[in-house]
Amino acid sequence: MSDESRLREKICDLARSMFDRGLTAGSTGNISARTADGGLLVSPTGTSFGRLDPARLSRFDARGNHVDGDRPTKEMPLHLAFYETRGRTAAVVHLHSCHAVALSALPGANADDFLPPITPYAFMQLGRVKLLPYFRPGDPAIGDAVRGLAGRRSAVMLANHGPVVAGLDLDGACNAIEELEATSRLALLLRGTTPDMLSPAQVDDLVRLHEIAWGDA
């Protein structure tokens, strides 16, 4: 099996795993990964994470031309913005995960630091998550908003829509977006209480120890 065939299978396997665990539903969500020749494999428009076909993934060449497979997700501007501004990006995942969307709809969210410092894992995998305002799905302005971050964030939360994570590899992107959803769930469970959060000193220690500069600036 070629490297690209293995990548196609892995995209579909990871997407199916997220679908089976309720991290995105119906035909929502999209996923892409960089190929060895500098091109992209992308989930097609209107497809379910639970039923992606490796042979029908959209294929782009290194110049950004759609050369094979079904028509790509309408969120291509969002994906391309991460690849263009974060040169080390090898995969991008976008979900409509329930708890993250719910948290984004509540008042008082910190747009510059969307996730509260409940556990160390969100910082270790995501850095600080930027909350972006609502955009119509597929709106090219989403890509412009990501470009406006100038590559300083690996993860954004689209208000009333869903999280997006860019990773150094496909596994890392999927793991990180699952951590974003898990932390959002914790934040909702703790809402209305006065929990002990990580202190600024503890957060600084994580940033220093894990060299989280790639996830934030």
Percent of the chain with pLDDT over 90: 90
Q: How many Cα atoms within 13 Å fall on the side-chain side of residue 139?
A: 12
For residues 163 and 181, is the Cβ–Cβ distance under 8 A? yes
Which residues are tagged catalytic?
Answer: 75, 121
pLDDT (mean) for 104-118: 95
115-141: average pLDDT: 94
The pTM of this model reads 0.94
Per-domain boundaries in the chain: 3-215
Instruction: Pick the closest to residue 145 from 77, 216, 95 (CA basis).
Output: 77
Task: Encode pLDDT of 17-43 as tens digits.
Answer: 999 999 999 999 999 999 999 999 999
Q: Per-residue pLDDT for 214 more than 60?
A: no
Q: Summarize the confidence of residues 166-182 as an average pLDDT.
A: 97
CATH topology of domain 3-215: L-fuculose-1-phosphate Aldolase (3.40.225)
d(Cα 40, Cα 90) in Å, to the nearest integer?
Answer: 9
Q: How confident is the model at residue 143 (pLDDT cuts 50, 70, 90)?
A: very high
**φ, ψ (nearest 5 deg) of residue 138:** 85, -5
The pLDDT confidence band at residue 211, using thresholds 50, 70 and 90, is low
The overall average pLDDT reported for the chain is 94
